[in-house]
Amino acid sequence: MANYKNPEIEPLSRTQILVVMGITAVVLLAVAKVWQKIGSVTIMPLLFDRHALLWALGLAGGIIVASSFIYRFWPAYRRSADIYLKLVVEPLIWADLIWLGLLPGLSEELLFRGVMLPAFGLNLFAVILSSCLFGILHLSGANQWPYVVWATIVGFAFGYIALITGNLLIPILAHIITNLVSSCVWKFNHPQGVE
């Protein structure tokens, strides 16, 4: 059995997790809007069409499959992901997982892909830089580096798709789907109180 204890991180209650998610989303949205205004950044467009949905579903599916593979075969990542997900997902009830999909999916994508990519130049350098910053956002402790590496790779995938399609809706939907499905799968496989 895995040991999910992490002396660096104190467990939070359901209410605390929801409040932190809400505050984080508001802060990221505020940073994005201030950056957009001060930097005169034109945000990436949101283009609603069936191609965007197909791209998002494909991207989310690819990330979920890759994450499952890495979780299974990279023990350091599995430990890191379990610590992070135990901290964030375990206290939540099933209905709360909708918020875990929506809040980060919207706020993080608006900031990291919607504003940062255009502000940094809408090129490969911008994708790499925003991906690294996205990975760092997911750092919750010194031993969480494998989770940060994975978040950076996922951030690169979101950024690169946004860059080549010019559509912010694709990474937003892919992020929401990925968070929702991944958290549901983890919660199903780790019933509360079982270690």
94 sits in which H/E element: none
- What pLDDT does 9 receive? 60
**DSSP output for 17-58:** HHHHHHHHHHHHHHHHHHHHHHTTPPPPP---SHHHHHHHHH
Question: What confidence tens digit (pLDDT) does each residue in 5-48 have?
Answer: 444 567 889 999 999 999 999 999 999 999 999 999 999 999 99
pTM: 0.91
Residue 3 lies in a domain: no
Question: What confidence tens digit (pLDDT) does each residue in 133-171 have?
Answer: 999 998 877 788 999 999 999 999 999 999 999 999 999
Residue 182 lies in a domain: yes
Residue 69 lies in a domain: yes
Q: What is the CA radius of gyration of the chain?
A: 16
Of 125, 139, 39, 124, the C-alpha closest to 80 is: 139
Length of the chain: 195
Question: What confidence tens digit (pLDDT) does each residue in 60-81 have?
Answer: 999 999 999 999 999 999 999 9
Question: What is d(CA 191, CA 195) in angstroms, rounded to the nearest whole number?
Answer: 9
Residue 133 lies in a domain: yes
On whether the CB atoms of residues 120 and 42 are closer than 8 A, the answer is no
- What pLDDT does 158 receive? 98
Determine the structural domain holding residue 162 and report its residue range.
51-189
Provide the mean pLDDT of the chain: 92
Residue 38 lies in a domain: no
- What pLDDT does 27 receive? 97
Residue 71 lies in a domain: yes
Mean pLDDT for 98-114 is: 97
**Number of domains, the chain:** 1
Residue 56 lies in a domain: yes
